[in-house]
Amino acid sequence: MPPPVYRGPFGKPQAERLLWRAGFGPRPGEAEKLARLGPGAVRSLTHPRRERLRGPKPHDDRGRPLAPYDRWGHDQLWWLDRMVRTSRPLAERMTLVWHDWFATSREGVDSTRLMLRQNKLFRQHGLGSFPELLTEVTCDPAMLLWLSGTDNTRWSPNENYARELMELFTLGVGRGYTERDVRQQARALTGWRNSWSENLGPVRFRFDKERHDPGVKTIFGKRGHFDWRDSCRLCVHHRLHPSFFVTKLWGYFVPVPPKTGTKRALERLYVNSGYEIQPVVEAILRHPALYTGPRMVKPPAIYVTGLLRALKRGIDTESWTWLMSLAGQQLFYPPNVAGWDDARWLDTASYRARWIIASYAIRPHVLKSDKAKLPNDAAKLLRRAEAFLGDPTLTGHTHAELRRFAKRALSDARSQWKKEQYPALIENALRQLLAASPDLQTC
């Protein structure tokens, strides 16, 4: 049996959720356009046209072009800009997924050049073959530095990458491997090295047969003269890999685990496709659980990017670097090799950061109370605030609370000058409250 497919109504609310879960939220009018595609909406994301960045080009606070290789934080701004302006949101979202899955931090790599090279790798293979992606990641220079791959020699095997290859990347903690498998995998993965340049740092990453252990290894009960390619192949063909893969991938799009029938159907689809990523992603995006299940908290990168897309604003300030860090997600700096913990996106500290993020996003458009001539009407002010943020779908509770706030605020405007100036102040407040509301923190 194939995985279940959503057959319910597909209007603007469903299109919005799809765009948030499989991308970075809609630009104004984009959800309505996607909704008109109906069943073809998912395919438009999984089979996009050629990449075309849309919108204002990025710059720093002084109006200068970004310098991702030279200035601190500009690598993060460079990637945020791609998220904001991309015409292939799913492809870019999968780049973020793989950055979390194969979490590599510049803290240990200490090279923007190599981190951006890895980022390009994730983008190129994000919806392709998982075995090919895994093989490329295994010999990727940033990963080799991050998990001690170039320190792994036949004379002194290093187990760092061998352990994470199975524990975090392909099988799961304690699933189907032993400490002996870790040691044997480390031997198979020996042989990588690099040179050093005074100007560029680590360069010329290459496989050196002299550093590789050519002896017989026993991995998962199989014997052979295994090398690094064999390590990846053995993990992907392990009987427990498909269940790990589909469950972990599912978790990036749906906040509750898949039911047993769905999980097995996705596993069959994955294996029968030759371990391709795209068919599984497409099946998840078509699944009823994505549209009828509970809401997900947006990661900070998604929240920031979605606000900017809704406002048609590009990257024009370096403030996003420290604001993202304050919110708990600094691109290219995952907290550890396990990546970010999605269960910790919202707490008293990180929500304060999101409030400030909303304020910074809205700041260039703040209405002047002594100049803006707005209606003295709560419903109209709320309608304007909603339109300002791209008319997001709101719950009845959020809409009622915002309207109640506007009515109470307007009721205090008794004098003539208050009646003239309060509407602009109230609409500014409505924009901020809406941007920080539960409806915009989740999708």
* R_g of the chain computed on alpha carbons: 25
Structure tokens at 407: 């009515």
β-strands 222-224, 201-207 pairing: unpaired
β-strands 217-219, 201-207 pairing: unpaired
- Give the residue carrying structure tokens 């491997």: 177
Q: Are 142 and 104 in contact (CB under 8 A)?
A: yes
The number of beta carbons lying within 10 Å of the beta carbon of residue 72 is: 10
Q: Which pLDDT does position 421 carry in this prediction?
A: 85
Q: Is 268 exposed, middle or buried (0-12, 13-18, 19+ CB in 10 A)?
A: middle
Per-residue DSSP letter, 48:
-
CA geometry: angle at 235 spanning 230 and 240, to 5°?
155
pTM, entire model: 0.96
Any idea of the CA torsion for 217, 170, 151, 104, to the nearest 10 degrees?
180
Secondary structure E strands in 74-173: none
State whether residue 224 is helix, strand or coil.
strand
Q: What is the pLDDT along the chain (443 residues), one digit of tens a residue?
A: 899 999 999 999 999 999 999 999 999 999 999 999 988 999 999 998 889 999 999 999 999 999 999 999 999 999 999 999 999 999 999 999 999 999 999 999 999 999 999 999 999 999 999 999 999 999 999 999 999 999 999 999 999 999 999 999 999 999 999 999 999 999 999 999 999 998 889 999 999 999 999 999 999 999 999 999 999 999 999 999 999 999 999 999 999 999 999 999 999 999 999 999 999 999 999 999 999 999 999 999 999 999 999 999 999 999 999 999 999 999 999 999 999 999 889 999 899 999 999 999 999 999 998 888 888 999 999 999 999 999 999 999 999 999 999 999 888 867 776 777 888 899 999 999 999 999 999 99
pLDDT in tens, 15-39: 999 999 999 999 999 999 999 998 8
Q: Which pLDDT does position 417 carry in this prediction?
A: 65
Strand partners, 27: none
Instruction: With both helix axes pointing from N to C terminus, report the angle between 112-125 and 130-138 in degrees, rounded to the nearest 10.
Output: 170
State the DSSP H helix or E strand holding residue 217, giving kind and residue range, or none if neither: strand 217-219
Helix (H) and strand (E) counts in the chain: 23, 4
Q: Which pLDDT does position 280 carry in this prediction?
A: 98
